[in-house]
Amino acid sequence: MPVILRLSREGAKKKPFYHIVATDSRSPRDGKYLEAIGTYDPKKESEGVKIDRAKLEKWIQKGAQISDTVRNILPKKE
């Protein structure tokens, strides 16, 4: 089961809110996930990304791949 770290969309129409999740790469975008790692709110510029670094490192050590979108928003947190 290949695991990927990607976004799962929540929120209303034209008001997006995303959860950063570890999930099976074959599951649908908003389907079941293994663990929630953080959140991303594109409407907030400075405080839009909240990530649990311990969970992120745990999944990376287990060999999880990171999607391009999640990889692009990670530097905003640092």
| Torsion, CA 30, CA 58, CA 69, CA 7, rounded to 10 | 10
CB distance 8 to 33 below 8 Å:
yes
pLDDT tens digits along 14-26: 999 999 999 998 8
pLDDT tens digits along 38-62: 999 998 876 788 999 999 999 999 9
Q: Which CATH superfamily is domain 3-68 in?
A: Ribosomal protein S16 (3.30.1320.10)
| Torsion, CA 15, CA 36, CA 47, CA 62, rounded to 10 | -130
| Torsion, CA 3, CA 7, CA 52, CA 25, rounded to 10 | 0
Q: Is the pLDDT of residue 2 over 60?
A: yes
Sorted by where each begins, the domain ranges of the chain are: 3-68
Per-residue model confidence (pLDDT) at position 22: 94
Question: How far, in Å, CA of 13 to CA of 2, rounded?
Answer: 31
Q: How many residues does the chain have?
A: 78
Q: Is the pLDDT of residue 13 over 80?
A: yes
Per-residue model confidence (pLDDT) at position 8: 93
